[in-house]
Amino acid sequence: MARYIFITGGVVSSLGKGLASAALGALLQARGFTVRLRKLDPYLNVDPGTMSPFEHGEVFVTDDGAETDLDLGHYERFTGVAARKTDSVSSGRIYQNVLEKERRGDYLGKTIQVIPHVTNEIKDFLSIGDNETDFQLCEIGGTVGDIEGLPFFEAIRQFAQERPRGQCIFMHLTLLPWIAASGELKTKPTQHSVKELRSIGIAPDVLVCRSDHPIPDKERAKIALFCNVREEAVIAAPDLSSIYEAPLAYHRQGLDQAVLDAFQIHPAPRPNLGRWEDVIDRLTHAEGEVRIAIVGKYTQLGDAYKSIAEALTHGGMANRVRVRPEWIDAEIFEREDPSPYLEIFHAILVPGGFGERGTEGKIRAAQFAREHKIPYFGICLGMQMAVVEAARNLAGMPNAGSQEFDHEVGATRFEPVIFHLKEWIKDNQKIARSVLDDKGGTMRLGAYTACLKSGSHVADIYESHEIAERHRHRYEVDVKYREALEKHGLCFSGMSPDGRLPEIVEVADHPWFIGVQFHPELKSKPFAPHPLFADFVRAAVEVSRLV
C-alpha cells in the first residue's frame, strides 16, 4: 500500500506547489523510493484541452492521450516517471462521472450530493494504482478557502481518516511576505492559512514557506508554535535562479527528511543526489551562449510554451552552453520584413498553435531560415507552415495553405496542402472525427509510432528507425503532395507505419532544417535531453562559432 502525501497551498496562488511536489518526488527517488505524482484541479473544465494558453498555460499531453495541467510536465521532467490519464483530474471530470452514473441508475434512485457522492468519486480516483509505488504525491490546485476546492479538501480529509494511521501526511505551501517598510518577514498570512486548513479538519505535518528572504530562527520557531508543527518541519523555499536547483535546495532545507520523519521512516535511506549535482554543474558551468528565436502567437505568456523553453534548456545542458530564447510575435512578420529581427539569432524555432492568426508570419520565418541556412525547428503547426512555405516558394503552388483556415472563414482560399484528418488508426482501432465534433479530446492525442527513412538526418539523430512521440493536433500534411515537394528538396523522412501520415520533414541541403508533427518537448528531461533538442542546440552552437 502506498503512502500518500497531499500538497496544498495557501495565501496566494502560483507559489510553486507543482515545483515543490516535483522536487520532493525527485528527492524521494534519490533515497531509493518509487513515486507517482498526481494533480487534482478544482476548475469545472473537464480538462485543460479547450482552455486558452493565456488562461492556463500549455496543455501537457501524456502517452495515453490525456490533455493535462502543465504541472504534470514538471512531474515528468523531475522524476522521469511518465504521466498517465489517471494522474490528472478536475472538478469537471469528477462531476461528469457522478452525473453519468446517476443517469445510468448506479445510485439506485438516491439523492446525489457532494458528500458522499462527489467526495467518494474523488477518493476512488486517489485509490487508483494504490499498490504500484512507495509514495503517491497528490497536489490540490488552487488555495485553501477556494469554494470550488472544498470537495477536494473534504475528500482528502476523509481519505486520510480512512487509511491506517501513518499512511497519509499533509504538506502545506504558504507565503512569508517581506514588508520593506518595517524590514521584517510576516508570519501572520501563514498562520491564517493554516487556521483555514485546520478549520476543515486538515492539520499540516510539513510547512513549506516561500520567501525571497531567509527565515530567521525566531520566525521559524514562531511559525512552528502557532501552526502546531515541528520546528524542523518548517521548510524555507527561497527564490532560485533555476527551477532545477529546487531538489538540492529543498534537500539542504531538510524537506525530504521532514517528510520521512512525518512517516516515521527510521533510519531514512541516504540520498544519492549525483544526478542533480550533474544537472546543476551543466547549468552553471556553461561554456558559451546561443540565441534562439521562438516565433509564436502566445509569446506574451511564457507558460504557453513551458515545455519548449525547458527542452531548449536541456539541449543547452547537453552541449554545455546557455540557451537564450527570445520570444517574437509571429504577427510582426505579417507587417514587416523578418530579416532585421531574425538575422541576429543562431537558430529559429516555430512552435505549435491553433488558428490562423500569425501563420503568415510563421511561414515567413520558415522561409528566412531555409534561404539563409539558419537552423530551423518546426513543431506541429511549425512543421505545417514550413511545408506550406516550401509548396508556395519551391513547388510552384502559390495558393498553398491549410483547411484549418478555410474552415475558420467558411470559404475556399487555399490549395489544402494541410487537411483535416477525419480518420486514423490508434491501437489497431479506427478513430473517426468531424469538424463539427466537440472540441475537447477530439484531436490525434498521445503517443504514435513513426518510421524514419534510412540515411535521413532524423534517423541519425535518434539512432533508430522507429520512434514513438506524443501528438496533439487535428490537421495533417496531405501525403498526396509528397512527390511534388520531394522533387524540390523537402524530404519526408518520417511517416506513420501505414505510410499515410507525414510525421517529419527535413531539407536535405540545409545545415539543420527539421519539422515534426509531434511534440518532442514533452519528453525532454534535464538528465535526459530529447535528442532533437540536443542536436538543434548543437547546430546553433556551430552557427555561433561562425559569426
Sign of the dihedral defined by the CA atoms of residues 81, 85, 86, 88, in that order: positive
C-alpha cell at 22: 516535483
| CA atoms of 346 and 537, how far apart (whole Å) | 9
- Residue 295 CB partners (closer than 8 Å, separation 6+): 328, 330, 333, 348, 349, 350, 361, 362, 365
| CA atoms of 83 and 69, how far apart (whole Å) | 11
Q: Please check whether residue 173 is in contact with residue 237, taking contact to mean a CB–CB distance below 8 angstroms.
A: yes
DSSP notation for 497-538: TTS-SEEEEEETTSSSEEEESS-GGGG-BTTB--HHHHHHHH
DSSP notation for 164-214: PTTSEEEEEEEE--EETTTTEE--HHHHHHHHHHHHTT---SEEEEEESS-
Q: Which of 484, 476, 485, 537 is nearest to 506 (CA)?
A: 485
The catalytically annotated residue of 219, 245, 469, 521 is 521
Judge whether 148 counts as a catalytic residue: no
- Residue 415 CB partners (closer than 8 Å, separation 6+): 391, 397, 399, 400, 401
Dihedral over alpha carbons 11, 17, 21, 23 (to 10 degrees)? -110
Judge whether 380 counts as a catalytic residue: yes
The catalytically annotated residue of 380, 404, 471, 473 is 380
The catalytically annotated residue of 56, 510, 519, 530 is 519
Q: Calculate the CA 72 to chain-centre distance.
A: 6
Judge whether 466 counts as a catalytic residue: no
List the catalytic residues.
Answer: 380, 519, 521
